[in-house]
Amino acid sequence: MSDGELVTRTLTLASPEETHRLGVRLGGLLEPGDFVGLIGDLGAGKTHLVRGVAEGAHVPRSEVASPTFAIVYPYSGRIPLYHADLYRLTGYDDLYATGFMDLVGGEGAVLVEWLDRVPEAAPTEHLRVTLAHAGGDARSLKAEAFGVRSVALLTAWLP
Ligand SMILES: Nc1ncnc2c1ncn2[C@@H]1O[C@H](COP(=O)(O)OP(=O)(O)OP(=O)(O)O)[C@@H](O)[C@H]1O
Ligand SMILES: [Mg+2]
């Protein structure tokens, strides 16, 4: 596969448990510097997937459950995880002011809900996951890898 090739995967998740399991598997694969953008409507399952990722990265459950109104939630697991939700942001300047950009490409992996609100937040090298309602508890998942590392991550996650 060439460097410029866009690698994608699509699948259907029949239940919340299936989404969780997929998240756990991704959490076991993330490395420092990885960036995962999550896109999808309200209730599509972005946070649900991230909870699975946190479990897979051995983040104590209590950390993920702790309620906070911050834009970025730091978790400490096997590696640091930064869980951001850009829903309430209006643009890049807003995000820049939070200090979020200092975390990107740093010592942790970054997971960002509502990446489509501030697409410039994504580094060139990233994994983009789009979730959509597909009737009842079903969700469709599309994953797109941008860059060499993200292709490796995606093909390990969803062979
Ligand atoms: N297959 C599925 N995968 C994930 N979640 C599902 C699925 N089926 C039902 N659900 C339910 O849908 C809801 C998803 O909520 P979640 O908070 O993860 O959405 P979200 O995409 O983060 O929304 P928001 O934009 O509000 O942050 C949960 O209540 C979950 O139990
Ligand atoms: Mg959410």
pLDDT in tens, 18-70: 999 999 999 999 999 999 999 999 999 999 999 999 999 999 988 886 656 67
Asked if residue 77 has pLDDT above 90, the reply is yes
Residue 148, pLDDT score: 96
Q: Once rounded to an integer, what is the mean pLDDT over residues 67-83? A: 87
Query: Considering only CA atoms, which residue is closest to atom 2 of ligand 1?
Result: 16
Strands lying side by side in the sheet with 139-146: 7-13, 139-146, 126-133, 35-39, 109-113, 80-85, 72-76
Q: Which fold has domain 13-157?
A: Rossmann fold (3.40.50)
Q: Where are the domains of the chain?
A: 13-157
Residue 91, pLDDT score: 87
For residue 64, the SS3 value is helix
Residues 128 and 136: their CA atoms lie apart, in Å, by 24
Measured between its terminal Cα atoms, the distance across the chain in Å is: 14
Cα–chain center distance at 36 = 4
pLDDT in tens, 81-132: 999 999 988 888 888 888 888 999 999 999 999 999 999 999 999 999 999 9
Q: Which residues line ligand 1 (CB under 6 A)?
A: 13, 15-16, 18-19, 40, 42-48, 113, 137, 139
